[in-house]
Structure 1
């Protein structure tokens, strides 16, 4: 699965890990994250992420 990086703080969303801090299960691809999901490090919105 593709990883995505926050262009503000550099946080990398890894689908194999998910985001336990926001209840996102491992295996959740970036495009399936809720629209209101934000970067757990800096609070940036999904549109501030780039595929890496």
Structure 2
């Protein structure tokens, strides 16, 4: 069974959060689902809120 990871994009700056890669330099391990990020998580590039991200369609 393969795991389907999503990519999310910040609507403010275009930064991509890839669930498969995570953000190890920010303490977010690979495989971390976007919905599992803390509610107070912010975009590492511009500081926008989690609610400012949209899922990218494959």
Structure 2 length normalisation: TM-score? 0.83
Long gaps (5+) in structure 1: none
Structure number with the bigger relative contact order (C-alpha 8 A, sep ≥ 6) is 1
Long gaps (5+) in structure 2: none
Q: CA deviation at 1:22?
A: 2.1
Structure 1 contact 6–39 (Cα < 8 Å) conserved: yes
d(CA) in 2 for partners of 1:16, 1:38? 18
Does residue 1:2 correspond to 2:6, yes or no? yes
* Structure number with larger C-alpha Rg: 2
- Structure 1 residues 1-52: aligned runs within 5 Å: 1-52=5-56
Structure 1 length normalisation: TM-score? 0.92
Number of aligned residue pairs: give it.
52
- CA RMSD of the aligned region, Å? 0.8
